[in-house]
Chains A and B, each alone.
Chain A
Amino acid sequence: MRLGVIMLVHTALHRAEAVIRRWTAADCPVVVHVDKATPREEVERFTAALADLGEMVSFARRHRCEWGTWGLVAATQDAAEQMLLKHRDVGHVYLASGSCLPLRPVEELKAYLAARPEADFIESATTADVPWTVGGLSDERFTLRFPFSWKRRRKLFDGYVNFQRRIGFRRRIPAGIVPHMGSQWWCLSRRTLSAILTDPLRLVHDRYFRRVWIPDESYFQTLVRLYSTNVESRSLTLSKFDFQGKPHIFYDDHLELLRRSDCFVARKIWPHADLLYETFLGPLPAKEAEPNPGKIDRVFAKAVERRTRGRPGLYMQSRFPNAGWENGVTSARYCVFEGLDELFEDFAPWLARLSGAKVHGHLFAPEGAEFEGGQAHVAGALSAAPGLRDRNPRMFLTNLIWNARGERQCFSFGPADNQAISWDIAKDPSADISVVSGAWAVSLFRSGAPFEVIRARAARLQKLEADHIAALRSPYAKAAVKVWTMAEFVEAPMEVLQHAAEAAAPQAGTGRLTEVPKMADLAGFGRFLQQLKNEGMHPHLMGDYPVDPAPLGKRRSVRKPYLVR
């Protein structure tokens, strides 16, 4: 038995001609369907060029094949009938397009089919079970009417679909038919194909499918289920589709991928891919392998994912998501420490030593970003200049995290800093925020500034921090937040440090800290807070900080001085 090929062509006819010669050289008769829209001179040149092949090539009645319309099915039907009638010895019929290219010697395909004489290779799945649909139409492509072109009259198309939905219109599906769909490129056995074409009910089927949307993906795929005894639900043509249902195109640089795929035929090949045509239409090494498109699948699946999901935390010229659609506000986890650097004198170097993370100072300090090591720039040539940073603080942060991919970033934040990112970090699921509230007062306490100045400043900072903590505790907050008051901190400072260490280096485990930074001297701090209270400025963010710092003293278990009068 021979293998017959139906080829649907519309452009790049010189490439189609070369491929036809490939098929016929391997004793495969070809029936060609040329789109009715192809200019006459081109068709004439094409037919004249193929004249020397004689009986091996014939031309089917021409139809206008617009994407998603019946024309493609009608063209296939006519060509298939012609094939079955003209070539009685054809056992399998392969449907290919003008941009298909055989990747392996045709003999191997013939042997493969000869070993499976009954098999029908056609992708065929019920709509309910696959997510292939494009444009939100799955079942509905079988139950609505589609008189308007999707390509040229999109608004009318959508409007009419919505109208039918609203009035509850449903077409009746002919009895005995269960809609299936799948890739339009198939290879059917003579028995199945002629059963479909000579069915007494063909008129009913044709009338129904004529108004189905994209019938070329469902006509044969559905009817094959009625007649075939051996459906292999996969296509022998390697053909990948992107998220909009458009086929991916192969170029010269896909040569190795295609070679290793061991597929029989691939589509669609870019007409100017000289190297691909040269290679695969030249002599090919013989191989005995099952088609294995896995690697190509991965490449294209990645491309679709990049187009639909993108890289989390990246903002650039062609990816600028609306709020809430970022798929991760920033690209990696990072830590924010609020107040800890006030309470420990060498907090940043200690944390850097312990965790190996990049520990910056106050990135949003009014004088400019305090990058690790006092640098003027960090990765990505991100500048510390306050003007540039405050131009867009949110992008300053997302840039910083993006540029340092693979290295955990930590920084300090406080009420004296630019508060513009307060909500951004609160809503960022990759932020890990540890706060000792009220700790900003420590530097005021030690500043020795006039009390009037301190009082005004304390009132302002308290207000800012209260707002910030409200953001962290709002229902919109997605960051991992831990807040201690100053009072809670002096009760158990080690707990806070332990938490900070684990946040900065989660992989290091929860071992006990072997080295701790030096804590600021808080003697008299309670008194200082009481003084603020006495002035009418109640520092509420510190919690119930004891006027007498007894807990600290106890913890250190230093002996009290012993006085003898």
Chain B
Amino acid sequence: MGFRQAYRLRLRRKRWRLRALRKRRELTSVVDRTGAIRRSDLLVCSTFRNENLRLPHFLDYYRQMGIGHFIMVDNGSTDGGLEYLSEQPDVSLWTTGASYKRARFGMDWLNWLLMRHGPGHWCLTVDPDELFVFPFCDTRPLRALTDWLDAGSIKSLSAMLLDMYPKGGESARPYQRGDDPLQIACWFDSGNYTIERNHKLGNLWIQGGPRARTFFPEEPYHAPALNKIPLVKWDRSCIYDNSTHALLPRGLNAVFDEWGGEKASGLLLHTKFLGTFAAKAAEEMARGQHYAASREYRAYATGGETAEPDLWCPWSETYINWRQLEILGLMSKGNWA
């Protein structure tokens, strides 16, 4: 990388920082318990809108993993999720009615909160419908992983988004608040992902899975990006560039091995398709607050004319555990044993 490009990326990083500083004014604190964060705590950062249905399981799942504190941003929820979260002892909550899109899909808000509370902590930035899975997650807490990463001077971990879906239309079995969404959305695509390198930021661009297969067969370039780097040892200099797909400085994006080996990686099980999706797609389309003119939601609405798209196909796999995902080659233990 030449000096010019390095400097350009530096400016870009400064720009996102300034933007995050500016956008902090849109946030109003509801409950600030960040004083209770201990030095060794692992943090979860998330934005949400009308996710009350998922929040109890979301909190349980990550508490069990060993998360010490949740930093949450509410974007105009009207379903009681805000009230529910404000009562939780390990949640610090902000709210905003401002545009999600103009905050770069919530990233500016989270960047600000990460700048403020993240440095020195391992921070996991996920949406409420994303469940993080890592090697040995059934027998070791997240701290085992972060300690191991620390010992190897590794600062970030890749976790591709793996779309989970139910069989036979989404509303086949209604999801109950507090349930494990993987009981319903337990299917996934194991081997239809395409990967390219993004040489500018040094990250990978991954597409594919059921959404590409069902909604974007004609225009696969527009299919959603699945590469994510949600787990980062936050530092003052870090900033998320484009959602959690890429970070700056770009060394943090080097989460893959180029010389034939495998680095350790996890997965984000994406439980978006739960029977609540059709209504959500209609709403989100009307709001037009999502990436690339909500193309994704438009594709959903037209792709599944029945309003309940069935993503299932005879070659879908049923989710068992992380070892299965490792054997299928979707994630890797790397040299962690």
Contact = CB atoms under 8 A, between A and B. Distances in A.
A382 B191 contact: yes
Contact of A383 (B192, B227, B317, B334): B192
A378 B136 CA distance: 30
A306 B213 contact: no
B212 A303 contact: no
Nearest to A307: B335
Interface string B308-337: 000001111100000000000111111111
Contacts of B330: 316-317
B192 A319 contact: no
Interface string A23-66: 00000000000000000000000000000000000000000000
Interface in B130-145: 136, 139-141, 143-144
A251 B140 contact: yes
B256 interface: yes
Contacts of B256: 317-320
Interface extent on B, as a size class?
A: 35 or more
A476 interface: no
Contacts of B329: 311, 314, 316, 402
A379 B263 contact: no
A248 B337 contact: yes
B262 A306 contact: yes
Nearest to A327: B260
A543 interface: no
A322 B204 CA distance: 12
Interface in A359-401: 375-383, 385, 387-388, 391-392, 395-396, 399
Nearest to B330: A316
A460 interface: no
Nearest to B197: A320
B190 A318 contact: no
Nearest to A378: B315
Contacts of A391: 194, 207, 220-221
**Residue of A244, A308, A376, A378 with most partner-chain B CB within 10 A:** A308
Chain B contact surface mostly = loop
A315 B265 CA distance: 13
Interface in A272-313: 272, 299-300, 302-304, 306-311
Interface residues of A, number: 53
A380 B191 contact: yes
Contacts of A309: 260-261
Contact of A317 (B204, B210, B221, B333): B204
Contacts of B227: 317
A385 B213 contact: yes
Contacts of A399: 191-194
A252 B255 contact: no
B147 interface: yes
Contacts of A243: 335
A334 B255 CA distance: 31
A380 B334 contact: no
B206 interface: yes
B335 A317 contact: no
B305 interface: no
A188 to B, nearest CB: 28
The 8 A-B residue pairs with the shortest CB-CB distance, nearest first, are A380-B191, A307-B335, A318-B265, A303-B337, A385-B217, A403-B191, A392-B194, A381-B189
14 contacts: A244-B152, A310-B262, A318-B158, A318-B334, A319-B332, A321-B257, A375-B314, A379-B315, A380-B192, A381-B313, A383-B213, A387-B220, A391-B194, A399-B191
Interface of A: 242-244, 246, 248-249, 251-253, 270, 272, 299-300, 302-304, 306-311, 314-322, 325-327, 375-383, 385, 387-388, 391-392, 395-396, 399, 402-403
Interface of B: 136, 139-141, 143-144, 147-148, 151-152, 158-160, 189-197, 204, 206-208, 210, 212-213, 216-221, 227, 255-265, 313-317, 329-337
